[in-house]
Structure formats: structure tokens, C-alpha cells
């Protein structure tokens, strides 16, 4: 028996332009800028102790100093070095955003697969639950959940997960529904695969792509939501060097522009980076826009 | 059409009931004892006072009964009494809601005008420089933390250069116009107080500009995508082939069908404006739902939190219902379903 690469079997005959449309993301300047920014921020987070001249909580400097050669981003109301705090802030925002996107993806994927695969009342119940979450504007529900659980960074992460999983569940359910009736799933079932095996072995690879794009796009949103909760005082608690909380401190001293400006710029660049990458990926992989690209 | 209407309204009503359930369950998660949070140190040591508090707020009954009582009250427009202000939550909200809705409506009109126009421009100049620039602009818009934009705009436009009024809904010392709709601009115009009306409008500019930053980016991206999708259709080629001017093709044959999709997103955009309001109102000392929500959450004021989330979600659902009904007007095919 000749072994053919299974990935190649049902590829449609593609034109040269098709392939260019799929390959192009890494040639587009936006994606490159985005990826470079992501790498840069990851490096900053990893090397924070080397980059920051002071500890994030050190109250050494004179208070409320404007940016200068010594204090690049100035100092805040307690005399802490804003530059060092922004650098250390990446160690809070980046890992937590990734963690909560992973949690939301896994939760949403499990719920969506179960709903799509079994259908019937299981599907109805799970999807009505998702509808309920969608009925709230994101941060309103996140705020209520975070307030109910108590103002803590960990609870803010949970709150954002609670708000985020339904979009993954809907996406995965739709993908499972359209894949469920395909011949390869029928073949697999006929060969005696269990429901679980079919889901994990046959369905998962066909669902992973779109879900990953959604997750990539979602990291930016996660950073925004999480820092928003911290800004409201429902996430990171003082004295933690969290960007949203730092902007809140800037709002309390709004005439000293540097306290709020730089942590906000940090949030902006991180979110922008993930959105650049995610947006390019979506353009390349989404069949609807891909059609528009091809014509 | 009637059945379509009835089904949509029924679904929306069910969602509203679901929302009360969600906010009720949430308040049951609160680790703190509301009695402990609201009675002083001395009173908490007195079992009689605690019992009195519990029975006053119905906290001694089984949960399903508590929920049904709550639901019945909500349906009668009674959202309970705020444990902070000791006033009816509904009364508090009636004061704060119009301020936020006025702000959000102002912002959504602004975002639709700017977002759709830029989106169309991006679509018809696809892959050329205006499209590339607009792409960065729109991604920038959805990437900016709203609360930070608010801070920067407040600093630059109010504090530094004094171009726009900073906080509040009216100039200091100005009295609110007689209450009709709760929208100061409308109420002042109705009363013929033009100075108040212009002051109210000016105060709206800065916060609604800030709120619109995100939704403009979102609507721009979406308009572009749905325009491009439709541009690929054969009937667009046919329209061009028969020599219609490009302007007519774009507006009648492409933008009009694209509007169906855009309107859907406008519903979502309204939700993100309400979310944004929570983050922005604090900075502009805008006396709306956002400020109220934040204050209640921090103080674990259960009835107030429940009231706010129920009202915001209900406003959001009604908005999306209106959007659904607008479909029927824009796309006649939908009436058949």
C-alpha cells in the first residue's frame, strides 16, 4: 500500500494566487511588526530584572518627578520608578492574558464540542447558557463576577474567562456541526471509533486552525479586559505593578501625565501587536475574506 | 412578519429573565456576608440585629424563594433598596441611566458615520495606501485601552489646551433643564434654554469621542470586510458591465446589502459603548451608570449590582432586538422567515 500524505489528499487544485494568499501573512509588514513587538515584550518580561534600574516596589526616587535621564518615565506618587514598573508589569499582564485565553479556549472547545457532537437537549442547554453570557456587555458581567468573587487578580482572571468562553463554544460547535456529517467522520464511526476518539482524532485537527486564530485575536482583548478590571480596582491590588492599576494611579494624578501615559502605551503596544498578527492570520485563513482576496 | 416579531420579542423576554437569574446566582457567590458588610461592628455581634437585617432583605428564606421574590419584584419595577444610598435602586438608576444612554447614543451615531465612511473608503481602495493607512488606524482604535484614551484626551483637550469642557454634564453653576427625557440636550431644547443645550452638547463631545475610538475601529474593519465580500458577487460585475457609474454601484449594489451586516455589529458596538462607559465615566465624572456600577461593586451593594447588570443587559437586549427588526426594513428577504 502506498502511503500518501493525508493532508494532501483532498486539497483542491490550487492556483498560484491561492497559494500566495495563504503564504503571504509572514510577508506582510503588519504581521512582521506585530510579531516583532510580541517577541520584544516577551524579552522584556523575561529580562525584566536586567532592564529595570529599580525594583517595581522600591520607593527610592523623589516623588512625582517628570521624565528625565535618570528616571526615563518619571516617578509616581510614592516615588517609584515608572519605567521599572512598566517593565515589571509585563510579567503580570502577558502570562495572565495567555493563561486566561488558554483557559477560555479549552473550556469553550470542550463545551462547543459536546454541544455540537451530541446535539439535542445537551446542545440547547449549553447554547442557551452561552446566549446568556452574550446578553451582557463583556465588562459589565466581568465586573459583576469579579466583584462577587472579591477584588483580586486571580478572580479578575476567572471573571474574564467566564466572559470569554462562549465565543469559542459557538465557533467550535459550528465547526463540529459542519464536520459531523462529513464522510470521514462517518467512516471513522463505521470503523468502530468511540465518540471520544472521533472528537479527538478526527475532529480536533479540523477545528484547531480557526480556534487558534480566534485565540490569537483574543489575547489582545484579554489584556484589555484584565487591565480594565484592574483600572476599576477589581483586579490587581496595590502595590502590584499592573498596567491598568498604574493608569488608575495616573488618573488620580492626571496633571502628572507621565504616570498614566507610559503604562497605557504598554497596554496599547501589546494589544496592537497581537491584533496585527491575529488580523493578518484571519485575513489569510477566513474563507470569506479569502474569496475577496482571490477575485 | 407578525410571527417573526413575536418570536424575537419572546426570545428577548426569555433572555431578560435569564439575566435576572445570572445576577441572582452571582450575588450568591459573594463570599462576604452582606449582613456583615452593611451592619456596623457593634450590630454584627447582636444576633437580633442580624436576624432583623436578614428578614428585612429576605435573606433567611430558601434560595428559590428568594429568587422568585426577586423576579416578582423586578417585574413590578422594584429592584430593591440600595444598601449604600438607602434609596430604591430603580430610583437611583432612573437618575443615572439617561446620562449613559445619551452618551452612548451620541457616540454610536458618531462611530457609525465615521466608521462606515472609512470602511467604504478602505474597501474601494483595497490594498492601496488609503486602505493600508486605515487598517492601521482601525486596528489602533480597537487596541487602545478606553480608560487610557480617556485620560490622555482629558489631559490634552481639557487640562492642557482647554479646548473642551472636562467633567460633568453641564458647566458649573448651570441648572439641569426640566426633566422630560433625562437627555439634557433634548430637555434643554424642549425648554428653549439654548445656552444649557449647547453646554450639554459640548460636554458630550469629549467623552463620546473617547468612547467612539473603539467602535469606529470595529465598524471600519467590519464595513470593509462585508463590502469586499459583496464586491466579489457577479451582480456587481453585471452592474458595472452595464455602465452604471461606480458611485451608484458602490452605494446601491454594495453598501446597501452590506448595511445588513453592519447593523448587526452596531448592536454589538452599542454593548461595547456601555462597557466603555463604565471605564470612562469615572474620569469625566459623568454621573451615569458606569460610576454607579463601580461604586456599588466596590461596596458589595448587592441590590444595586443586580439592578445595574439587569438594566444594562436589558438595554443591550432591547438594542439588539431593534437591530433584528431593522433587518426586516433593510433586507426584505428576512421578513419571510
pLDDT in tens, B313-330: 888 888 888 887 777 777
Of B143, B283, B300, the CB nearest to A271: B143
pLDDT category of residue B334 using cuts at 50, 70 and 90: low
Q: How far is CA A251 from CA A231, A235, A247, A248, in A?
A: 9, 16, 6, 5
Interchain contact, A135 vs B151, CB within 8 Å: no
Q: How far is CA A106 from CA A92, A142, A166, A172, in A?
A: 21, 19, 11, 11
The answer to whether A136 and B309 have CB atoms below 8 angstroms apart is yes
Q: Which residues of B touch A266 (CB under 8 A)?
A: none
**Is A143 an interface residue toward B (CB < 8 Å)?**
yes
For the cut 80, the answer to whether the pLDDT of residue B53 exceeds it is no
Q: Which residues of A touch B145 (CB under 8 A)?
A: 224, 227-228, 231, 244, 247, 264, 267-268, 271
DSSP conformational letter for A198: I
CA nearest to B281 within chain A? A232
For the cut 50, the answer to whether the pLDDT of residue A38 exceeds it is yes
For the cut 60, the answer to whether the pLDDT of residue A291 exceeds it is no
For the cut 60, the answer to whether the pLDDT of residue A1 exceeds it is no
Mean pLDDT for A64-83 is 84
For the cut 80, the answer to whether the pLDDT of residue B332 exceeds it is no
Q: Which residues of A touch B228 (CB under 8 A)?
A: 289, 292
For the cut 50, the answer to whether the pLDDT of residue A293 exceeds it is no
pLDDT tens sequence across A227-239: 998 888 888 888 8
CATH number of B89-336: 1.10.3720.10
Range of the domain at A167: 26-294
For the cut 70, the answer to whether the pLDDT of residue A138 exceeds it is yes
Interchain contact, B18 vs A135, CB within 8 Å: yes
Mean pLDDT of chain A, nearest integer: 82
Mean pLDDT for B159-178 is 83
Mean pLDDT of chain B, nearest integer: 84
CATH code for the domain in which residue A124 is found: 1.10.3720.10
* A 3-22: CB under 8 A from B: none
Angle at A130 between CA A126 and CA A134, to 5 degrees: 165
> What is the number of other CB atoms lying within 10 angstroms of the CB of residue A192?
7
In a domain, A277, yes or no: yes
Mean pLDDT for B104-122 is 93
Interchain contact, A272 vs B143, CB within 8 Å: yes
- Top pLDDT among A290 and B118 is at B118
In a domain, A144, yes or no: yes
pLDDT at A217: 81
Separation between Cα atoms, residue B217 and residue B110, nearest integer Å: 12
- Top pLDDT among B29 and B288 is at B288
CA B143, distance to chain mean position in Å, is 19
**Is B36 an interface residue toward A (CB < 8 Å)?**
no
- Which of B8, B36, B151 has the most A C-beta neighbours within 10 Å, making it the best mutation to test the interface with A? B151
> What is the number of other CB atoms lying within 10 angstroms of the CB of residue A171?
19
For the cut 60, the answer to whether the pLDDT of residue B112 exceeds it is yes
CA distance A200 to chain B (A): 32
pLDDT at B333: 67
Say what percent of chain A tops pLDDT 90: 31
In a domain, A81, yes or no: yes
For the cut 60, the answer to whether the pLDDT of residue A24 exceeds it is no
Of A132, A138, A264, the CB nearest to B275: A138
- Top pLDDT among B37 and B23 is at B23
pLDDT at B265: 85
Mean pLDDT for A136-158 is 84
For the cut 60, the answer to whether the pLDDT of residue B43 exceeds it is yes
pLDDT tens sequence across A246-256: 998 888 888 88
The answer to whether A145 and A232 have CB atoms below 8 angstroms apart is no
pLDDT category of residue B108 using cuts at 50, 70 and 90: very high
pLDDT at B300: 67
In a domain, A44, yes or no: yes
Mean pLDDT for B224-238 is 88
The answer to whether B112 and B219 have CB atoms below 8 angstroms apart is yes
Q: Is A56 helix (H, G, I), strand (E, B) or coil?
A: coil
Task: Kindly report whether the peptide bond that precedes residue A232 is cis, defined as omega within 30 degrees of 0.
Answer: no
pLDDT tens sequence across B182-214: 888 888 888 888 888 888 889 999 999 999 999
**Domain segments of chain B as ranges:** 2-75, 89-336
pLDDT at A161: 94
The number of distinct structural domains making up chain A is: 1
- Top pLDDT among A187 and A39 is at A39
**Is A95 an interface residue toward B (CB < 8 Å)?**
no
Q: Which three cell numbers stand for residue B90?
A: 430603580
Say what percent of chain B tops pLDDT 70: 91
Interchain contact, A295 vs B278, CB within 8 Å: no
Q: How many beta-carbon contacts under 8 Å exist across A and B?
A: 160
The answer to whether A273 and A253 have CB atoms below 8 angstroms apart is no
For the cut 50, the answer to whether the pLDDT of residue A220 exceeds it is yes
Of A137, A247, A288, the CB nearest to B151: A247
Of B27, B143, B278, the CB nearest to A140: B278
Query: Which of B30-39, B96-105, B298-307 is the most confident on average?
Result: B96-105
Angle at B275 between CA B325 and CA A215, to 5 degrees: 90
For the cut 90, the answer to whether the pLDDT of residue B149 exceeds it is yes
Mean pLDDT for B27-48 is 66
Interchain contact, B278 vs A232, CB within 8 Å: yes
pLDDT tens sequence across B4-16: 778 888 888 888 8
Mean pLDDT for B49-55 is 76
For the cut 60, the answer to whether the pLDDT of residue A213 exceeds it is yes
pLDDT at A107: 95
Amino acid at each position: 500500500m502506498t502511503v500518501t500524505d493525508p493532508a494532501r489528499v483532498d486539497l483542491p487544485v490550487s492556483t498560484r494566487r491561492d497559494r500566495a494568499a495563504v503564504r503571504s501573512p509572514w510577508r506582510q509588514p503588519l504581521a512582521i511588526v506585530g510579531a516583532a513587538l510580541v517577541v520584544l515584550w516577551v524579552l522584556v518580561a523575561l529580562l525584566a530584572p536586567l532592564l529595570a534600574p529599580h525594583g517595581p516596589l522600591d520607593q527610592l526616587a523623589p516623588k512625582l518627578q517628570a521624565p528625565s535621564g535618570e528616571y526615563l518615565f518619571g516617578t509616581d506618587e510614592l516615588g517609584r520608578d515608572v519605567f521599572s514598573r512598566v517593565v515589571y508589569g509585563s510579567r503580570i499582564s502577558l502570562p495572565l492574558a495567555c493563561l486566561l485565553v488558554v483557559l477560555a479556549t479549552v473550556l469553550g472547545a470542550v463545551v462547543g464540542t459536546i454541544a455540537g457532537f451530541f446535539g439535542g437537549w445537551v446542545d440547547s442547554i449549553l447554547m442557551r447558557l452561552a446566549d446568556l453570557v452574550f446578553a451582557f456587555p463583556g465588562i459589565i458581567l466581568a465586573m459583576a463576577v469579579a466583584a462577587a468573587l472579591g477584588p483580586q487578580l486571580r478572580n479578575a482572571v476567572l471573571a474574564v474567562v467566564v466572559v470569554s468562553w462562549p465565543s469559542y463554544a459557538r465557533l467550535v460547535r459550528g465547526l463540529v456541526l459542519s464536520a459531523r456529517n462529513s464522510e470521514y467522520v462517518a467512516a471513522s464511526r463505521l470503523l468502530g471509533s468511540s465518540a471520544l476518539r472521533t472528537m479527538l482524532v478526527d475532529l480536533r485537527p479540523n477545528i484547531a486552525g480557526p480556534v487558534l486564530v480566534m485565540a490569537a485575536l483574543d489575547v489582545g482583548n484579554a489584556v484589555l479586559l484584565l487591565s480594565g478590571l484592574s483600572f476599576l480596582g477589581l483586579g490587581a491590588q496595590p502595590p502590584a505593578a499592573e498596567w491598568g492599576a498604574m493608569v488608575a494611579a495616573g488618573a488620580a494624578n492626571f496633571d502628572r501625565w507621565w504616570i498614566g501615559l507610559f503604562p497605557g502605551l504598554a497596554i496599547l503596544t501589546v494589544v496592537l501587536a497581537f491584533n496585527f498578527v491575529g488580523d493578518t492570520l484571519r485575513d489569510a485563513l477566513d474563507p470569506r475574506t479569502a474569496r475577496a482576496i482571490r477575485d | 412578519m407578525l410571527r417573526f416579531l413575536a418570536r424575537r420579542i419572546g426570545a428577548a423576554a426569555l433572555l431578560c429573565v435569564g439575566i435576572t437569574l445570572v445576577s441572582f446566582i452571582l450575588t450568591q457567590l459573594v463570599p462576604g456576608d452582606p449582613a456583615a458588610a452593611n451592619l456596623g461592628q457593634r450590630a454584627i455581634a447582636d444576633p437580633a440585629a442580624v436576624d432583623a437585617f436578614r428578614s428585612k432583605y429576605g435573606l433567611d428564606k430558601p434560595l428559590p424563594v428568594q429568587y422568585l421574590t426577586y423576579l416578582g419584584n423586578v417585574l413590578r419595577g422594584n429592584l430593591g433598596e440600595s444598601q449604600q444610598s438607602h434609596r430604591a435602586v430603580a430610583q437611583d438608576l432612573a437618575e443615572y441611566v439617561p446620562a449613559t444612554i445619551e452618551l452612548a447614543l451620541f457616540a454610536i451615531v458618531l462611530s457609525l458615520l465615521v466608521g462606515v465612511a472609512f470602511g467604504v473608503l478602505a474597501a474601494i481602495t483595497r490594498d492601496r495606501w488609503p486602505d493600508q493607512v486605515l487598517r492601521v488606524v482601525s486596528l489602533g482604535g480597537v487596541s487602545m485601552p478606553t480608560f487610557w484614551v480617556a485620560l490622555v484626551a482629558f489631559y490634552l483637550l481639557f487640562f492642557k489646551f482647554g479646548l473642551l469642557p472636562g467633567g460633568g454634564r453641564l458647566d458649573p453653576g448651570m441648572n439641569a433643564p426640566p426633566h422630560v427625557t433625562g437627555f439634557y440636550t433634548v430637555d434643554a431644547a424642549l425648554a428653549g434654554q439654548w445656552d444649557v443645550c449647547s453646554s450639554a452638547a459640548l460636554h458630550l463631545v469629549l467623552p463620546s469621542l473617547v468612547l467612539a475610538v473603539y467602535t469606529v475601529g470595529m465598524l471600519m474593519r467590519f464595513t470593509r470586510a462585508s463590502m469586499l465580500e459583496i464586491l466579489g458577487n457577479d451582480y456587481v460585475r453585471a452592474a458595472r458591465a452595464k455602465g452604471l457609474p461606480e458611485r451608484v454601484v458602490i452605494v446601491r449594489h454594495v453598501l446597501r446589502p452590506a448595511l445588513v451586516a453592519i447593523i448587526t455589529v452596531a448592536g454589538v458596538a452599542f454593548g461595547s459603548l456601555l462597557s466603555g462607559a463604565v471605564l470612562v465615566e469615572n474620569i469625566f465624572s459623568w454621573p451615569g451608570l458606569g460610576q454607579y456600577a463601580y461604586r456599588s461593586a466596590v461596596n458589595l451593594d448587592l441590590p444595586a449590582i443586580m439592578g445595574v447588570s439587569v438594566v444594562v443587559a436589558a438595554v443591550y437586549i432591547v438594542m439588539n432586538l431593534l437591530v433584528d427588526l431593522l433587518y426586516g426594513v433593510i433586507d426584505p428577504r428576512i421578513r419571510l422567515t
